[in-house]
């Protein structure tokens, strides 16, 4: 427990408050399944990553997800880097209708990055840009820390709207 002397200069109190706030912020971003190496808590002192997390998809070019309403299919044509990795990523996505036809004029009402175990997303909002071949370039995907990331696409084509989520373990 830190002690502050009565009559301490105001700058010392400000620094103390900032360091306490930073400590809480950093603690809130640690995964429930991760313990600090050497923390002395026996078997749980080993850092456990998300590599074997059943929620994580295994990346493969042209992997697809049927939307939750089963109206659209989202195809992750490619990822750079492949598989998705920590920091900046760019994806190429294709949207298909229920018959499997590409939808080059789909609009994306939301592209959400989320870390379910940490309770936050990325600081930047990804955008989808249409390409001449009917695919979409999605960037920036700033997967800035290790852990399970979920990227949810919500798209609309005409009167049809649907969404799908790709989940990847970043950094093991």
Ranges of the chain with pLDDT below 70:
1-48
- pLDDT at residue number 48: 61
* Phi, psi (rounded to 5 degrees) for 126: -65, 150
Dihedral sign computed on CA atoms, order 8, 12, 13, 16: negative
Rg (CA), the chain: 21
pLDDT value of position 46: 52
pTM of the model as a whole: 0.74
pLDDT at 58: 96
C-alpha separations of 69 from 27, 75, 81, 147, 151 in Å: 37, 16, 30, 28, 17
Name the token pair of 153: 């696409």
Report the candidate in 27, 34, 133 with the shortest Cα–Cα distance to residue 75: 133
Tokens in use for 87? 């920091």
Burial class for 39, CB neighbours closer than 10 Å (0-12, 13-18, 19+): exposed
For residue 49, the model assigns a pLDDT of 81
In total, the chain counts a number of residues equal to: 172
């Amino acid at each position: 427990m830190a002690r502050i002397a009565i009559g301490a200069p105001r700058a010392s109190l400000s620094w103390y408050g900032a360091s306490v706030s930073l400590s809480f912020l950093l603690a809130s971003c640690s995964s429930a399944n991760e313990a600090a190496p050497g923390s002395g808590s026996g078997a749980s002192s080993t850092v456990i990553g998300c590599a074997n997390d059943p929620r994580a998809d295994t990346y493969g070019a042209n992997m697809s997800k049927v939307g939750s309403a089963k109206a659209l299919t989202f195809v992750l044509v490619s990822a750079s880097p492949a598989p998705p990795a920590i920091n900046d990523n760019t994806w190429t996505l294709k949207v298909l209708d229920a018959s499997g036809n590409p939808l080059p004029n789909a609009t994306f009402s939301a592209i959400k990055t989320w870390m379910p175990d940490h309770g936050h997303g990325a600081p930047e909002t990804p955008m989808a840009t249409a390409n001449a071949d009917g695919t979409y370039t999605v960037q920036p995907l700033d997967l800035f820390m290790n852990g399970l990331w979920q990227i949810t696409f919500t798209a609309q084509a005409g009167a049809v709207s649907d969404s799908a989520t790709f989940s990847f373990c970043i950094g093991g």
